[in-house]
């Protein structure tokens, strides 16, 4: 027994076919008997967050369902959690890599690929925190540079040292697009200034709730250089 409970649900993604997604049953789940998450700096309160379906993740998946995907474009999703956007891109035939710091994110991705009858896709350990370690107990460390980097609700903590921007810069090509869905968190202005310092131009689109979903207020932030 894994020590945590899960559920499988059908998720409607605007502009794409439904996804069958295995997620954690609720926010109370926790199982870190071997200490893998603790070794990565993930607390018991943070542990279940990767395995939830978040509104920002649904909005990012919807954005990727309708975005043009040029041949040869390499896509990276950071802080992927359940990797909804990566699954949408993968089903559309894109060359996409999902990444996260949680030791179970790759495990859940494998199961969700199976549930949706999709071929294997690339998953890597990607952690931009100050206490980042090299590996998460099996997943390869994220390497390489990408044409498009995407993420949802990744500005949840103050980042006085600019770790996230530095992480993105390490994996961004000289010409790169960055798409971030953010639920109006207070850290986006500082992040935007750091990205401007790296030569990125900024634009944004306000997002609202979709029919049948809880009220949502956020924005799709686009950075291009």
Domain count, the chain: 1
Domain of residue 40 covers: 6-224
Choose among 82, 81, 69: nearest CA to 116: 82
Q: Which residues pair with 208 in a beta bridge?
A: 217
Write phi, then psi, for 157 (nearest 5 degrees): -125, 150
Phi-psi region of 153 (alpha: psi -120 to 50; beta: other; left: phi over 0): left
In a domain, 1, yes or no: no
The pLDDT of residue 114 is 99
> pLDDT confidence of 8, banded at 50, 70, 90?
very high
pLDDT in tens, 86-126: 999 999 999 999 999 999 999 999 999 999 999 999 999 99
Enter the tokens of residue 57. Answer: 């993740």
Q: What is the DSSP letter of 141?
A: B
pTM: 0.94
The pLDDT of residue 95 is 99
Alpha-carbon distance of 222 to 60, in angstroms, equals 12
Q: Which residues pair with 99 in a beta bridge?
A: 124
pLDDT in tens, 77-89: 999 999 999 999 9
**DSSP 3-state percent helix, strand, coil across the chain (nearest 5):** 25, 25, 45
pLDDT in tens, 42-58: 999 999 999 999 999 99
Q: What CATH number has the domain bearing residue 71?
A: 3.40.50.150
Q: With beta carbons less than 8 A apart as the criterion, state whether 58 and 83 touch.
A: no
């Amino acid at each position: 027994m894994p020590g945590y409970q899960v559920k499988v649900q059908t998720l409607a993604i605007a502009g794409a076919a439904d996804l069958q997604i295995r997620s954690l049953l609720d926010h109370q789940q926790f199982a870190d008997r071997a200490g893998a998450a603790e070794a990565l700096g993930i607390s018991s309160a943070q542990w279940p967050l990767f395995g939830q379906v978040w509104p920002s993740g649904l909005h990012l998946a919807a954005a990727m369902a309708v975005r043009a995907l040029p041949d040869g474009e390499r896509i990276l999703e950071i802080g992927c959690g359940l990797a909804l956007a990566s699954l949408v891109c993968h089903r559309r035939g894109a060359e996409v890599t999902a990444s996260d710091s949680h030791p179970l994110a790759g495990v859940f991705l494998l199961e969700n690929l199976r549930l949706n009858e999709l071929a294997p896709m690339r998953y890597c350990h990607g952690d931009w925190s100050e206490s980042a370690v090299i590996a998460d107990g099996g997943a390869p460390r994220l390497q390489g540079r990408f044409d498009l980097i995407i993420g949802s609700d990744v500005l949840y903590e103050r980042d006085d040292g600019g770790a996230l921007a530095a992480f993105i810069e390490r994996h961004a090509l000289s010409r790169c697009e960055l798409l971030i869905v953010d639920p109006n968190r207070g850290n986006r202005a500082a992040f935007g200034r750091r990205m401007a310092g790296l030569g990125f131009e900024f634009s944004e689109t306000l997002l609202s709730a979709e029919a049948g979903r809880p009220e949502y207020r956020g924005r799709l932030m686009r950075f291009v250089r």
